[in-house]
Amino acid sequence: MLISFESFFFIIIFKACVAVYVLSHCWEITLAIFDVGSSIVTSVSAGYLTPTASSLGIWGLNAFDAEISAMNVGELMAACLEAILVNTAMSIMSVLIEVVLFGRMMEIYMYISVAPIPFSTLINKEWGMIGTNYIRTLCALAFQTFFIIICVVIFNALVASIVTTTLIKGMWDVLLYTVLLCMMLFKSGTISRSIFNAH
């Protein structure tokens, strides 16, 4: 099918106008995506992120004193070593969690800084998938925080459900759930990208 010169000229002018409009508003579009993600995260965190009390706190210091008083020297040394191990592991987990959160922020800044390049490909038929995939990736980054909030909510529920008779077992349970939280935080980006089909 042949296109007349006037139609061809109109298509070129229309595509150029759309491209100029998209490029001149790429920052607003990018920030709008993150505003939508931020509003969802704010509403979810306000409803579900509440402080939880675990049975370890309810169990109390009196029971801990009684448990320590009943131990002999060997048991006390073993409990001290276990507490040091758990404390070290928790410190490592907290550093890893911070790495995930700060790495996500750096990833967001890197993606936003190059926004005009992928947005400039949106109108082109051959290169349009670059811009489309960029928008999908922005949506995945914006909603990754939602999945991080879900991980933290589940972690709070798991810690609140710990029922223990000894403090050492309770510490190991908290460590186990913290390792699980750390693993899921590392996977939150992959989960978000798979939902938005961003690659």
For residue 88, give Cα distances in angstroms to 48, 83, 182. 29, 9, 15
pLDDT tens readout for residues 129-145: 998 999 999 999 999 98
Q: Which of 23-32, 56-65, 84-93 has the lowest mean pLDDT?
A: 56-65
pLDDT tens readout for residues 25-54: 888 999 999 899 889 888 887 777 666 555
Cα–chain center distance at 56: 27
Percent of the chain exceeding pLDDT 70 equals 88
DSSP 165: S
Do residues 41 and 146 lie in contact, with contact meaning Cβ atoms separated by under 8 Å? yes
Q: Which helix (H) or strand (E) holds 191?
A: helix 167-195
Q: What is the pLDDT, as a whole number, of residue 169?
A: 80
Q: In terms of Cα–Cα distance, which of 158, 154, 148 is closest to 55?
A: 158
Q: Which of 26-40, 67-81, 146-160, 174-188 has the lowest mean pLDDT?
A: 67-81
Q: How far apart are CA 153 and CA 44, in angstroms?
A: 10
Q: Is the pTM of this model over 0.85?
A: no
